[in-house]
A = this chain, B = another copy of it.
Amino acid sequence: VVKELLRVVGRYKLSIEYLGTNFHGWQVQPEEKTVQGEIQRALEVILKQVGMLQGSGRTDRGVHARGQVAHFDCEDEIDVFSLRASLNGILDKDVRVLDVVEVPPKFHARFDASYRLYRYYVSTEYFCIQNETRIHLKPRPNFELMNQASDLLIGKHDFGSFCRSATSTDNKVCTVESSKWVQESRSNFWHYEIVADRFLHGMVRSIVGTLLEIGNGKRELGNIEILLKANDRRLAGPAVKAKGLVLAEVGYNLLDD
């Protein structure tokens, strides 16, 4: 008797890749093509009882993801492999569900994420292959100097100076575990890689904009320390374009609890 009263709800975790070029960002918006909106709609086509898709965090219009994570609840009995295939059959080619796994009901894509890894891709030479996910820098900045500046961001700091001013969040403290410029196998291709427990709105793009000013001799290296104390968005450099930014990975430690 008890069994019949229980509604059996499963929670499922999705890993998602998308080319952000033609999306108005992650979050559902009326009348606009968004990643969350497209996946939610596809889920509702396939499943009868499906909850709201909850992402690990939003990405802005034009930003890409290789390892976005989201979860949803569902009362249907789900075969995860056929669900993935059905979703990818419905979704446009610029978004792919890489993986579907069942997770414990307490798992939360946003609150349980222990780190996020972003990469920002640049080139100091002319190029047209990979043009949708990389920006061309001219002139060539000083990468060694930018790496020194990147180092200064590591640790627990108030990143208010790198946060889009419209944000309502009060707590602007983030812990940056890793922050560096990496040279790729094609020597004039580089990316900036940053790992932190959380990111504020527009944070990576204004950090990259600020580092580029240092690399171009327009800002002093020591200015980074001032920015980390000022909590004033007007003091940091301008945000770089969305198209070079990729949410590469979201990490979870709590799945084994």
Contacts and interface: CB of A to CB of B under 8 A. Distances in A.
A88 B133 CA distance: 20
Contacts of A129: 17, 19, 64, 66, 132-133, 246
Nearest to A88: B126
B98 A128 contact: no
A93 B131 contact: yes
Contact of A128 (B96, B126, B130, B131): B96
B96 A17 contact: no
Interface string A12-31: 00000111000000000000
Interface of A: 17-19, 64, 66, 88, 93-98, 125-133, 246
Given A93-B131, A94-B128, A96-B128, 12 more contacts: A17-B126, A17-B127, A17-B129, A19-B129, A88-B126, A94-B131, A95-B128, A96-B126, A96-B127, A98-B126, A129-B133, A132-B132
